[in-house]
Structure 1
Amino acid sequence: MELSSDFIQENQHFLRSCILYEVLQKKPIFDSYRNFCYTVGKDAMEYPDFEFWYYRFYQGDLDLDYDRSADPEPKALVDMPVALMKKITQNLDPVERTRLRTMNHAIKDVSDSFPPVFQKIEVSITDKELLWTLNNKSFSCFKEGSGSIRYKPNSSRYEKSKKFYIKNGLEHLALVQKMPNFQVNHVSVEVYDDTPNDVDLLPAPFNAKSAFILCHNMNQVVKTLSALNPGNLEKINIKMVFSRAPLAHHGRILETVQFKQAKRVDFPMSMEFNVENLANFSHLKSFECHMMSENGIQDVLRIRDIITTFEEFESCELDYMVRSDDFPILVFAEALGEEIRIRPFAEGKHRTITHRYQIPESTECLEFKIKEEEYHCLVNIIKTR
């Protein structure tokens, strides 16, 4: 039962006697303080004062009338020497520094002097939960009615909120993203269901070197891709969930600054490209994509001739199909002038082609390694000297 504030202020001996009782019970200080607050009220005494009396009694000094006014002013956390603050801060990981910087301005300034660099940040969203991982620390936010429940990493402790579960979780992720000089080597965003249009899957810009994006529709892909700062982004891997996007939609990705400044890009089989799209890949060092051919032999030669003009090119893998031919490897063989066994191999065996093409007026070559699959073939092209 909580006591009145007037009674507590007038009976400091009573409060100290309660603390002495907790000490005599040999309970840990945090358990003692929790029990103390439950007994006399949460506002009866601040923890630093409780701690003073607890350890005084614990050391055998049982004077309840001790006058603290003559004691030196207690040191606060902000009174800590800057050198010591830096020593503590540099031994914390980026996630721990995120919490530390919220304590006060002095500690925030010291914490921000160490650029937060994460190895990976992963975000996964379903129709019931949002999970995110910062390095090796996992967070979660679950849908509960119109609100949500958010769990802290490596803990069963949780906080309830009236906010929509996606917004609640992303707001806490944004605290990390907004740290000065925030950087991450790899970011992964996986969305397995449609999300409201007003939800930004990455609420603040990401300085990431590589990104994996798995989304339910093209709007989610473009919105997420646009949140990645193009100056740092080198590799992009995009996949679609249960969707075969129309060819006309691919232009939205190819027009982004992120794609135009990337060095390596992987596209899924659910996204078809044609030979005309290949010119958009001229700035890339490597890429993977699904390519549909309309004109067979003519398209094979166009692929070869277009790639010879790519100055930055190192390698690519094409999942190649011919719309009117069930054996595209035969088309490649004829176009490149290579002989190949016409009769299919036994089950489990695959026809292959290796072909070298000397790039005109150059010491470099394109090496083609082609492997037949059912109704399509995998074409690996490497630039060699």
Structure 2
Amino acid sequence: MDQLTSPKSLRKCILFEFFRGKPVFETYKSFCEVMGYEAITLKEFEIWYHRFSRGEFDLEYDIRLEPKTRDFCQLPTCVIEKVLEKTSYKDQLSVRKVSRDLKSIVDSMRSSLKSIEMIWHSDHIKCRFNDHLVVYSKKENIKCHGDDVIRVIDENYEGLALRDWKFPMRNPKLRLDILKIECKEPSNRMRENTKIEKLSEFVMDLCDAIESIWRVNVQKLQIDSFHPKINHVEYILQHLVPGYLKSIVMPDFDLKRDELNVEMPTDPAPGVEPSEAYKRAKSNYWRAWSLKNDIYEVIKFKQWKEAEELHLKYNWDYFYDEDLIHFKRFHFTDCNLDRKRLIHLREIFSESTNFELCTLTSPNFQICSEYLESFCEKLDSGDPSVLILNYKIPDDSNKMLEFKLDYNQRKMIISKKIF
């Protein structure tokens, strides 16, 4: 080992690392992970690295002859921050591990991160920080597209993923455009209850991780899951900064208002065995009660009340109208539409003083025009693939709702306009 750590041997190792073509900070990090951080200082490492980059390969050179220069860590903090602002998030993480001083600077400066995405699988986790993908797993055989992938192989890969995921969010200067959390359905070979059990364990660990974070500045929150629960949204939502959060993308809840408007069944007479129908009715009642309670926990937050844009799939009426009316923009996908439901939207958007735009997609999009023509005025769009219908808002002299059906995109756009 002494031979490996002799000055000349270390220089040969640096030369080898240099030929791999990686940046100096990243090279120093990988070098120290093998040889130890006490083997050589960053300053000495940089001298040899830059000599090799100039084609100077004399391993016997006395670096004391080098012109005296400041160590990077000795530069004014404002200068270091200016340099680091020009680097990628991946490079900033490498710099952070060089010294305590640099760690402190990286942790306190405005982060270059704009998006954080976590994708949970039953056997691995992917975290994407801007365009940098990190894959955490127990085994090395996880397939990933692209060359620039960092792999973390460890028995405790979930813990490491959650640690790295929450680290940047503890920076009060972080300003994210989007925070996305996605839970993919495991292999069909896994039993359904096992899938849900593994997902529940991960969600609990995720909640523990985010519990240590106060508030994160996020403009758009997106949550996707193969087995979504409303309280999962609650856990995340409460840790985002109200007012800064503008857009919420809800998981795919296939819920209807009828499933929530369930009454407690009448108990059977004393001594009478409860029927299966009674047991089902009672189970449905408690399920509805639990769902309504979870929904209330979400809509009571300022984060919900001050957001401007809402994305929902399948349905919207498991929320009360008063819990939606403050949003400016809506995006509903895969909603089954009929005349009654379109009239419901007409009422919500007519009454709202904030409403600007709603886009909808529907499996029965083709017949929506029939429903709309029953209460709207049809206009000539000048384009056979586009149908436009207007509805004048009562008691409002100059405002109307425009229903635009684009048959090429199979999409409906509802907007409030002045005529």
Whether the 8 Å CA contact 2:108–2:171 is kept in 1: the answer is: no
Amino acid at match of 1:185: D
Structure-to-structure mapping, 1:150-165, within 5 angstroms = 158-163=151-156, 165=157
1:217 aligns with 2:223: no
User: SS at the partner of 1:259?
Assistant: helix
1:313 aligns with 2:355: yes
Amino acid at match of 1:198: M
Matching residue of 1:360: 395
Structure-to-structure mapping, 1:1-385, within 5 angstroms = 2=1, 15=6, 19=9, 28=15, 30=17, 46-48=39-41, 59=58, 77-82=72-77, 84-112=79-107, 114-144=109-139, 158-163=151-156, 165-193=157-185, 194=196, 195=199, 196=201, 197-200=203-206, 203=210, 204=213, 205-215=215-225, 216-218=227-229, 219-240=231-252, 244-245=254-255, 247=257, 248=260, 249=291, 251-252=295-296, 253-269=298-314, 271-273=315-317, 277-289=320-332, 301=343, 303-318=345-360, 329-334=369-374, 336=375, 354-369=389-404, 380-385=413-418
Per-residue CA deviations over 1:67-93 (Å, capped at 9, x if unaligned) read x9xx99997554334454244223223
TM-score (norm 1): 0.66
Is there any run of 5+ residues in structure 1 with no aligned partner, and where?
9-13, 33-40, 341-348
- Cα 1:53–1:234 change in 2 (3 A) is closer
Whether the 8 Å CA contact 1:238–1:267 is kept in 2: the answer is: yes
State which structure, 1 or 2, has the greater radius of gyration over its C-alpha atoms: 1
Is there any run of 5+ residues in structure 2 with no aligned partner, and where?
20-33, 186-195, 261-290
Amino acid at match of 1:206: V
Amino acid at match of 1:317: T
Higher strand fraction (1 or 2): 1
Matching residue of 1:343: none
Q: Distance in 2 between matches of 1:225 and 1:210?
A: 11
Q: Distance in 1 between matches of 2:407 and 2:57?
A: 79
Q: Distance in 1 between matches of 2:336 and 2:216?
A: 33
Q: Distance in 1 between matches of 2:399 and 2:373?
A: 22
Between the aligned residues of both structures, percent identity stands at: 16
Using the TM superposition, name which of 45-54 and 182-191 deviates more. 45-54
Whether the 8 Å CA contact 1:132–1:138 is kept in 2: the answer is: yes
Q: Distance in 1 between matches of 2:400 and 2:351?
A: 12
Per-residue deviation, 1:171: 0.7
User: SS at the partner of 2:244?
Assistant: coil
- Cα 1:206–1:378 change in 2 (3 A) is same
Amino acid at match of 2:204: D
- Cα 1:358–1:157 change in 2 (3 A) is closer
Amino acid at match of 1:316: C
Per-residue CA deviations over 1:213-236 (Å, capped at 9, x if unaligned) read 212211434333344333311112
Q: Distance in 2 between matches of 1:135 and 1:159?
A: 18
